[in-house]
A and B are shown apart, each in its own frame.
Chain A
Amino acid sequence: MLKMMSSFTVLATALATGPASAVDVDPSIPAYSKSSGVDGSLKSMGSDTLNNLMTLWAEGFMGQYPNVKIEIEGKGSGTAPPALISGTAQFGPMSRPMRPTEIDDFEKKWGYKPTAFRNAVDALAVFVHKDNPIKCLSLEQLDQIFSKTRKRGAKSDVTTWGQVGVTGEWAATAVSMYGRNSASGTYGYFKETALANGDYKDTVKEQPGSSAVVQAVASDKSAIGYSGIGYRTADVKAVAISNETGGECFDPSPETAYAGDYPITRFLYTYVNKNPGRTLEPLRAEFIKYVLSKDGQEGVIKDGYYPLPAAVVDEDLAVLGLKAGS
Chain B
Amino acid sequence: MTSTSNLAPTASSNLSRTVPAKADDVRSRGEPFTWLLGGALALGCLMIAGLLALVVWNGFVTFIPKPIEVLTENSGAISAGERVRQESFRPAPDVVAKLSATARENVAGNGGYATRFLIKTGNFDLYGEDFKWVADFDVATRSLPRDMVLVERMEWGPLIGRLIGMTVDGTSVAVTDIADPRFVDAHRAARDRWRKIADLERDDIGGINARIEQERLELRSIELSEGRGSESYRRAAVTYESVAAALAKDHQRSTAEAAALVDTNKGFTATFADAQGTSKTVALDAIVRLYAANDLSWFDKIAIYLARWWEFLSDDPREANTEGGVWPALFGTFTMTLLMVVAVAPFGIVTALYLREYARQGRFVAFVRICVNNLAGVPSIVYGVFGLGFFAYLVGGTIDEVFFQERLPSPTFGTGGLLWSSLTLALLTVPVVIVATEEALSAVPRSIREASLACGASKWQTIKYVVLPRAMPGILTGIILAMARGAGEVAPLMLVGVVKLAPALPIDGTFPFIHLERSFMHLGFHIYDVGFQSRNSEAGKPMVFVTTMLLMTVVFGMNLAAILIRNRLKTRFATAAF
Contact = CB atoms under 8 A, between A and B. Distances in A.
A40 to B, nearest CB: 8
Given A52-B535, A214-B537, A235-B538, A69 B503 contact: yes
B410 A41 contact: yes
B501 interface: yes
B535 A230 contact: yes
B128 interface: yes
Contacts of B156: 302
Interface in B488-525: 494, 499-504, 519
A71 B416 CA distance: 12
Interface stretch (A54-62, A151-159, A242-250, A285-293): A54-62
A132 to B, nearest CB: 10
Contacts, number: 112
A252 to B, nearest CB: 12
B500 A72 contact: yes
Contacts of B502: 71
A215 interface: yes
Interface in A89-146: 130-131, 133
B133 A55 contact: no
Contact of B318 (A40, A59, A74): A59
Given A70-B501, A72-B501, A233 B533 contact: no
A209 interface: yes
Residue of B93, B133, B321, B501 contacting most chain A CB atoms (<10 Å): B501
B494 A211 contact: no
B60 interface: no
A208 interface: yes
Interface stretch (B199-207, B437-445, B470-478): B199-207
Interface in B78-128: 89-90, 92-93, 118, 124-125, 128
B534 interface: yes
A302 B537 contact: no
Contacts of B92: 131, 133, 168
A55 B540 CA distance: 15
A69 B502 CA distance: 8
B318 A234 contact: no
A148 interface: no
Contact of B320 (A39, A52, A66, A232): A52
Contacts of B124: 302
Interface in B528-553: 531-538, 540
A159 B536 CA distance: 29
Contacts of B383: none
Contact of A71 (B93, B133, B409, B519): B519
B374 to A, nearest CB: 28
A131 B504 CA distance: 45
B537 A67 contact: no
Interface residues of B, number: 46
For the complex, would chain A's binding face be called helix, strand, loop or mixed by DSSP majority?
A: mixed
A48 interface: yes
A234 B155 contact: no
A73 interface: yes
A73 B499 contact: yes
A304 interface: yes
A223 to B, nearest CB: 14
A51 interface: yes
A210 B319 CA distance: 17
A208 B532 contact: yes
A72 B93 CA distance: 48
A52 B533 contact: yes
A46 to B, nearest CB: 12
A72 B393 CA distance: 19
Contact of B538 (A51, A56, A233): A233
B234 interface: no
B209 interface: yes
A233 B536 CA distance: 6
A75 B495 CA distance: 10
B300 interface: no
B516 to A, nearest CB: 16
A233 B537 contact: yes
B532 A212 contact: yes
A87 interface: yes
Contacts of A230: 535
Contacts of B409: 87
B411 A209 contact: no
A91 to B, nearest CB: 13
B308 interface: no
A69 B504 contact: yes
Interface string B122-149: 0011001101110000000000000000
A11 interface: no
Contacts of B125: 301-302
Contacts of A208: 532
B537 A59 contact: no
Contact of A88 (B202, B411, B536): B411
Residue of B125, B129, B320, B536 contacting most chain A CB atoms (<10 Å): B320
A131 B93 CA distance: 12
Given A56-B320, A131-B89, A39 B209 contact: yes
A71 B410 contact: no
B424 interface: no
A23 B128 contact: yes
B537 A231 contact: yes
A86 B331 CA distance: 30
B543 to A, nearest CB: 13
A142 B213 CA distance: 55
Interface of A: 23, 39-41, 48, 51-52, 55-56, 58-59, 62, 66-75, 87-88, 130-131, 133, 168, 208-212, 214-215, 218, 230-235, 301-304
6 contacts: A41-B503, A67-B201, A168-B93, A212-B532, A301-B125, A301-B128
